Amino acid sequence: MQKDTRARLIKDGAIWGFIVLELIFFSVAGHFLSLSENAFMDLENMLLLLKQSAPIGIIALGMTMVMINGNIDLSVGAIFALSAVVMLDSMGWAVFAPLGDWVIPISWALALLTGMALGAINGLIVWKTGVDAFIVTLGSMLGFRGLVFMYNGEQPTFHLNWTMVDMAQASVFGLQTPSLVLIACTAIVWWILNKTIHGRNVYAVGDNREAAVNAGIRVGPHMMINFVIIGFLAALSSVVFYSASGSVNPNDGMLYELWVITAVVLGGTKLTGGKGSVIATFGGVIAIQLLRKGLGHIGADTAMVSLVIGSILIVVLYLDKQLNRKGAEDLKL
């Protein structure tokens, strides 16, 4: 019994332990290998890390909900790109020209609506056809990406508005806009998952769909709402990122779904659903960004970073499997 509790503690705290380990490693290694005179653990560097985590992080919050729900969404990268295209393109529409800079909130709203609409399409298909979400969103991943290319061919969509860039680069107490959005979204999604009926249902449906149906949860619409939420968050992530860069390539956001899923899985959310935590996902996102940044800090190249993150993911899943074995006798650490 006591061993059980200990195992759970190790498991739940694992991601934070991992982060501490990374920090120690990169601080020590950076001391010898980095050319920079600033320490790795420098406050500014950590604030920058939080900001750079935001694009993947915001989407990962939604992915946590969808995965606890027992589904998955592979189309987030394409939604990310399409929302950006809508946002940047709409800023140049003649209809909005008299508005001046007031076009910015309207374009943001259009982008967010795009994300929600695309999420609703995913959710509706999953609900009405009963086809596995993996297949549905694999299809929409390709389909939405096709829309991105149809919109503007292979050309980038571009609109540079310095007011918007200044807003995206603004900061409060050293936290830049993307960091603030990430923190706020984490708090809100945490609240939804832990304090609302919808949130409890997310776990119930993911744990045992049949039991959830028997308990009177309308599983179809319930799942659709979650797809709308992740669509919204993918679009929000896009708004935050592209407000600061002002240009989107049709290939942008490719492989984002995989980075997002990696972060969520690192945070301990089960691929089979029913279990997971948004705070641990936040940890997973930070852990990945720390690895990227830390390996860059000590001078490893880009290919090396992918190799290391991939290896760690497999090790984490292996450890997770070991810790989840029933009975302490199977526990090998």
Partner 1 sequence: MKIRKTLSATTAVAAMLGAGAAFAQGPYTIGITQNNVGVDSYQTTYEKAFIAAAEKNENVETVVLDAGGDVARQIAQMQDLIQQEVDAIIIWPTNGKAVIPAVREAHQAGIPVVVTNSNIAEEGFDFVSSFSGPDNITQGARAAEIMCDRFKDLGIAGEAQIVEITGQPGYTTAIERSKGFTDRLPEVCPDVTLLESQPGDWSREKSQKVMEAFLVKYDDIDGVYAGDDNMGVGALNAAKAAGRAEDITFVGATNFAVGYEAMERGEYWGSIYQSPVDDAEAALQTAIDVLEGKDVPFLNYFDTPKITQENMDQFTKPVF
Tell me if residue 5 falls in helix, strand or coil.
helix
Q: Is position 92 an interface residue for partner 1 (rule: CB under 8 A)?
A: no
Instruction: Render the burial of 179-206: b for 16+ CB within 10 Å, e for the rest.
Output: bbbbeebbeebbebbeeeeebebbbbbb
Q: How far is the CB of 154 from partner 1 (least distance, A)?
A: 4
Tell me how crowded residue 73 is: count the other CB atoms within 10 A of its CB.
Answer: 32
User: How many whole angstroms separate alpha carbon 27 and alpha carbon 272?
Assistant: 36
The burial class, CB within 10 Å (0-12 / 13-18 / 19+), for 312 is middle
Q: Is position 106 an interface residue for partner 1 (rule: CB under 8 A)?
A: no
Tell me if residue 170 falls in helix, strand or coil.
coil
Site string for partner 1, 208-247 (x = CB under 8 A): ---------------------------------x--xxxx
Of 153, 173, 214, 327, which one interacts with partner 1 (CB under 8 A)? Answer: 153
- Using CA atoms, how far residue 173 sits from 31, 44, 170, 177, 180, in Å, is 28, 11, 10, 11, 10
Instruction: Render the burial of 232-252: b for 16+ CB within 10 Å, e for the rest.
Output: bbbbbbbbbbbbbebebbbeb
Q: How far is the CB of 117 from partner 1 (least distance, A)?
A: 24
For partner 1, which stretch binds (CB under 8 A), given 40-48, 203-211, 214-222, 270-278? 40-48
Q: How far is the CB of 262 from partner 1 (least distance, A)?
A: 16
CA gyration radius, the chain = 21
Q: Is position 44 an interface residue for partner 1 (rule: CB under 8 A)?
A: yes
CB-wise, 250 or 268, nearer to partner 1?
250
Q: Is position 154 an interface residue for partner 1 (rule: CB under 8 A)?
A: yes
Q: Is position 28 an interface residue for partner 1 (rule: CB under 8 A)?
A: no
Site string for partner 1, 163-202 (x = CB under 8 A): --x--xx---------------------------------
- Residues 6 or more apart whose CB falls under 8 angstroms from that of 266 comprise 15, 283, 284, 287, 288, 312, 313, 316
Site string for partner 1, 256-295 (x = CB under 8 A): -------------------------------------x--
Q: How far is the CB of 160 from partner 1 (least distance, A)?
A: 5
Q: Is position 147 an interface residue for partner 1 (rule: CB under 8 A)?
A: no
Residue spans of beta strands (DSSP E) within the chain: 157-158, 171-172, 175-176, 247-248
Q: Is position 250 an interface residue for partner 1 (rule: CB under 8 A)?
A: yes
Q: How far is the CB of 83 from partner 1 (least distance, A)?
A: 15
Q: Is position 36 an interface residue for partner 1 (rule: CB under 8 A)?
A: yes
Task: Give the orientation angle of helix 76-90 with respect to helix 256-266, to 10 degrees.
Answer: 130
The residue ranges that bind partner 1 (CB under 8 A) are 33-38, 42, 44-45, 48, 51-52, 55, 153-156, 158, 160, 165, 168-169, 241, 244-250, 252, 293, 296-303
